[in-house]
Amino acid sequence: MDRTAGERGVCGAGLGPMVSSYNAHFGEEPPISGTRGSGTIFLTNCSLKCVYCQNYPISQLGHGNEVTEEELARMMLSLQARGCHNINLVTPTHYMPQILSGLTLAAERGLTLPVVYNTGGYELVEALRLLDGIVDIYMPDMRYACDEAGVKYSGAPGYATHNRPAVKEMHRQVGDLKVDAEGVAVRGLLIRLLVLPESISGTEETLEFIAKEVSKDTFVSLMAQYFPAHKAETIPPLDRRITRAEYGRAFKKMMELGFSQGWAQKLVWS
């Protein structure tokens, strides 16, 4: 695949980066949003094809506008001028070269904010090594504990096989999450775990991996907000929300393993 010749990748991206929106975002985890918001840039398209994606118009239908690397830099500087705590790049990997160029331009013009790499976690270690010393905060998903689920529900061959070494590499680069006096993240790793119906995500197994292979001091966001979106309404058991019992098992495992940093959510349904 040669994007310079007009071809598009499996992710749907061409040569030019596409942005859906950029703004101060207050819906991230507390150390990321802080009090002034996370300077979030939502990149269009995605290497994952999750059948339950809540942002599928952006990730899979390609809703967004093509921008130049110069425009990316301007967005970053605008978010800094508005007082945001960081530059939060959402689903960035398929535009990595363009983003690095934009970051370089922005840094030359005074960008000093921490860079957040907000990713679905389907990464190659070799690519992540290019970001060593550039990314300050990694915020990956760990969607599945097995490759079969990654193929079935996200069209991602070898998801777990790639995801686990990728997260270890992220931790090698930035370590456990560190926050400033105001509780705002300045550097480190924050992992998101979305609990799915009938343990499709294998969350308990993933928690065991994090505890044994990464760090028990890892900040973990145990997410309960799953709801059927995109194609999920026709794919059991993804056609329903999770139960208290399903989330409770994941939370219990998190406590048993000794995780002391992170967040759990209250369920408002049965």
pLDDT band at 5 (very low <50, low <70, confident <90, very high): low
Beta carbons of 107 and 95 less than 8 angstroms apart: no
Arithmetic mean of pLDDT, 139-164: 98
- Give the residue from 164, 124, 131 showing the smallest Cα distance to 147: 164
CA distance 20 to 171: 29
Question: Does position 266 have pLDDT exceeding 70, yes or no?
Answer: no
Q: How high is the pLDDT of residue 140?
A: 98
CA 56 to chain centre: 15
CA–CA gap between residue 268 and residue 13 (Å, rounded): 38
CATH 3.20.20.70: does it fit domain 3-263?
A: yes
pLDDT over 90, % of the chain = 89
Q: For residue 105, is pLDDT > 70?
A: yes
Closest CA to 152 of 260, 225, 3, 49: 49
Range with lowest mean pLDDT among 10-19, 28-37, 77-86, 166-175: 10-19
Q: Is the pLDDT of residue 237 over 60?
A: yes
Q: What's the rounded mean pLDDT across residues 14-19?
A: 88
Evaluate the CA torsion angle 57, 40, 65, 99 in order and state its sign. Answer: negative
Q: What residue segments make up the domains of the chain, in order of their start?
A: 3-263
- 16 closest CA partner among 104, 95, 127: 95
Pick from 103, 123, 205: which is nearest to 171 by CA?
123
> Which residues lie across from 193 on neighbouring strands?
222
Crossing angle between the packed helical segments 69-81 and 96-108, to the nearest 10 degrees = 50
Tell me which amino acid residue 75 is: M
Among 14-23, 83-92, 123-132, 180-189, name the one with the lowest average pLDDT.
14-23
Residue 42 vs residue 260, higher pLDDT: 42
pLDDT above 70 covers a percentage of the chain that reads 96
193-230 exposure pattern, b = at least 16 Cβ within 10 A, e = fewer: bbbbbebbbbbbebbebbbeebbebbbbbbbbebebeb
Q: What is the mean pLDDT of residues 127-140?
A: 98
pLDDT band at residue 7 under the 50/70/90 scheme: low
Q: Extract the runs of DSSP E, i.e. beta strands, from the chain.
A: 18-25, 38-43, 65-66, 87-90, 115-119, 137-140, 178-179, 185-194, 219-223, 262-263
Residue 270's pLDDT band (boundaries 50, 70, 90)? very low
Contact, 147 vs 157, CB < 8 A? yes
